[in-house]
Amino acid sequence: MTKLELNLIYIQLEREINLLSQSTIVTYRSAIKEDAQQVIFELKTDIDGWILNLNERKLTCYELEKLLEEKRDAIKLKNIESKGIDPKKLEVFKNDILRMIAKSIFNTYLNSLFRNPTPTSTKGIKKENLF
């Protein structure tokens, strides 16, 4: 995956953050947006590594899911917590952020697979059989 494609993931994440904040009760909108951006910032090194490992086939989608789940307890949503949100709703927001990260990574990764097939992926296939 090229650096451009890594940037696509972060562009997709920004879109997802905006959608998440727009679908949230007005009282929590700016807080969830700020918290989601902070989580992405804190996980950037992890996200970059996961993408690299996915691309190099050193990590499966299932393993990535487990790695994301392991991050749940480490996620702190300070802005939204300061609003006095119910702990159950706080967990929903954490899950929303994790789902958003997974969705952005998986969508961009899968798109890159089909846009940039490896040279050996069509080896032995006649051109007329490709379509």
What integer pLDDT is reported at residue 129 of this predicted model? 44
**Interatomic CA distance for residues 22 and 33, integer angstroms:** 9
The predicted model gives 2-23 an average pLDDT of 76
Residue 131 in domain? no
Q: Are 121 and 63 in contact (CB under 8 A)?
A: no
What integer pLDDT is reported at residue 125 of this predicted model? 42
| Rg of the chain on CA atoms, in Å | 18
Residue 128 in domain? no
Residue 122 in domain? no
Residue 29 in domain? yes
Residue 82 in domain? yes
User: What pLDDT digit, counting tens, does each position of 50-61 carry?
Assistant: 988 888 889 888
More confident residue, 45 or 8: 45
Q: Is the pLDDT reported for residue 3 higher than 70?
A: no
User: What pLDDT digit, counting tens, does each position of 16-75 carry?
Assistant: 887 777 766 777 888 889 999 999 999 999 998 998 888 888 988 899 999 999 999 999
What integer pLDDT is reported at residue 117 of this predicted model? 54
Count of domains for the chain: 1
Residue 101 in domain? yes
Instruction: Mention every residue, 6+ apart, whose C-beta is less than 8 A from residue 33.
Output: 17, 18, 20, 21
**Which domain covers residue 85, as residue numbers?**
3-115
Neighbouring CB atoms inside 10 A of 90's CB total 16
Quick one: the chain helix, strand, coil %, rounded to 5? Answer: 80, 0, 20
Residue 24 in domain? yes
Residue 78 in domain? yes
User: What pLDDT digit, counting tens, does each position of 115-125 carry?
Assistant: 665 544 444 44
User: What pLDDT digit, counting tens, does each position of 83-106 carry?
Assistant: 888 999 899 999 999 999 998 888
